[in-house]
Amino acid sequence: MKAGSLPETQAPVRIGILGASSYAPTTLLNPAKENDEVVISAVGSRELPGAQAFADKHGIPRAHGSLQALVEDPNLDAVYVLLPTSLHGRWTRAALEAGKHVLCEKPFVANADEAREVAEQAAKSDRVVMEAIQFRHHPLTLRVEEIIASGEIGRLQRVDIDLCVLLPTFKGNCYNYDFAGGAMMDAGSYVANMARTFGGSTPEVVSAQAKLRSPQVDRAMTAELRYAGGHTGRIRCALWSSNLFRARAKVVGDRGELRWLSPAAPNLFPRLSIRSDGRKRVESFPRRACYDYQLDAFVASVLRGVPVRTTPDDAVENLSVIDAVYRAAGLPIRMPS
DSSP output for 148-197 = HHHTTT-SEEEEEEEEE----TT-TGGG-GGGT-STTTTHHHHHHHHHHH
Peptide bond into 12 cis (omega under 30): yes
> By CB neighbour count within 10 A (0-12 exposed, 13-18 middle, 19+ buried), where does 211 fall?
middle
Of all helices (H) and strands (E), which one includes residue 198?
helix 187-199
Are 201 and 230 in contact, with CB atoms under 8 Å apart?
no
Q: Which of 94-103, 154-163, 167-176 has the lowest mean pLDDT?
A: 167-176
User: How far apart (Å, rounded) are the C-alpha atoms in residues 275 and 142?
Assistant: 18
**Closest by Cα among 3, 95, 8, 101 to 308:** 3
Q: What is the CATH number of the domain that holds 281?
A: 3.30.360.10
pLDDT of residue 9: 54
pLDDT tens digits for range 277-309 = 999 999 999 999 999 999 999 999 999 999 999
pLDDT of residue 242: 86
Q: Please report which confidence band the pLDDT of residue 244 belongs to, taking 50, 70 and 90 as the band edges.
A: confident
pLDDT of residue 149: 98
**Closest by Cα among 198, 192, 190 to 156:** 198
Does residue 83 fall inside a structural domain?
Answer: yes
Does residue 298 fall inside a structural domain?
Answer: no
pLDDT at residue 53 greater than cutoff 60: yes
Share of the chain above pLDDT 90, in %: 93
Report pTM. Answer: 0.95
pLDDT of residue 170: 62
Asked whether residue 43 falls in the same domain as residue 165, the answer is no
Residue 34: what residue type? E
Q: Which residue has the higher pLDDT, 201 or 9?
A: 201
Last residue in a domain, options 108, 133, 158: 133
Asked whether residue 200 falls in the same domain as residue 220, the answer is yes
Q: Please report which confidence band the pLDDT of residue 6 belongs to, taking 50, 70 and 90 as the band edges.
A: very low
Asked whether residue 84 falls in the same domain as residue 140, the answer is no
Average pLDDT, integer, range 15-42: 97
Q: Please report which confidence band the pLDDT of residue 32 belongs to, taking 50, 70 and 90 as the band edges.
A: very high
Q: Please report which confidence band the pLDDT of residue 4 belongs to, taking 50, 70 and 90 as the band edges.
A: very low
Does residue 217 fall inside a structural domain?
Answer: yes
Does residue 53 fall inside a structural domain?
Answer: yes
Asked whether residue 159 falls in the same domain as residue 102, the answer is no
Asked whether residue 92 falls in the same domain as residue 158, the answer is no
pLDDT of residue 251: 98
pLDDT at residue 87 greater than cutoff 90: yes
Which residue range is the domain that position 258 belongs to?
136-292+319-328
pLDDT at residue 171 greater than cutoff 80: no
pLDDT at residue 173 greater than cutoff 70: yes
The overall average pLDDT reported for the chain is 95
Asked whether residue 75 falls in the same domain as residue 168, the answer is no
Cα distances from 136 to residues 64, 77, 118, 151, in angstroms, run 32, 24, 21, 20
Asked whether residue 121 falls in the same domain as residue 263, the answer is no
CB atoms within 10 A of CB 120: 12
pLDDT at residue 10 greater than cutoff 80: no
Asked whether residue 147 falls in the same domain as residue 265, the answer is yes
Cα distances from 214 to residues 52, 111, 177, 222, in angstroms, run 35, 20, 9, 17
Beta strands 156-164; 246-253: pairing state: antiparallel
pLDDT at residue 8 greater than cutoff 60: no
Asked whether residue 61 falls in the same domain as residue 88, the answer is yes
DSSP output for 75-97 = T-SEEEE-S-GGGHHHHHHHHHH
Asked whether residue 162 falls in the same domain as residue 216, the answer is yes
Asked whether residue 38 falls in the same domain as residue 154, the answer is no
pLDDT of residue 168: 82
DSSP 216: T
Last residue in a domain, options 133, 154, 182: 133
pLDDT of residue 95: 98
CB atoms within 10 A of CB 214: 13
Asked whether residue 119 falls in the same domain as residue 142, the answer is no
**Closest by Cα among 242, 248, 249, 235 to 329:** 235
Average pLDDT, integer, range 101-121: 98
Does residue 8 fall inside a structural domain?
Answer: no
pLDDT of residue 142: 98
pLDDT at residue 7 greater than cutoff 70: no
Q: What is the CATH number of the domain that holds 20?
A: 3.40.50.720
User: How far apart (Å, rounded) are the C-alpha atoms in residues 79 and 95?
Assistant: 7
Does residue 50 fall inside a structural domain?
Answer: yes
* Structural domain count, the chain: 2
Cα distances from 190 to residues 6, 51, 108, 120, 237, in angstroms, run 29, 29, 11, 23, 9
pLDDT of residue 11: 82
Last residue in a domain, options 115, 133, 151: 133
Does residue 2 fall inside a structural domain?
Answer: no
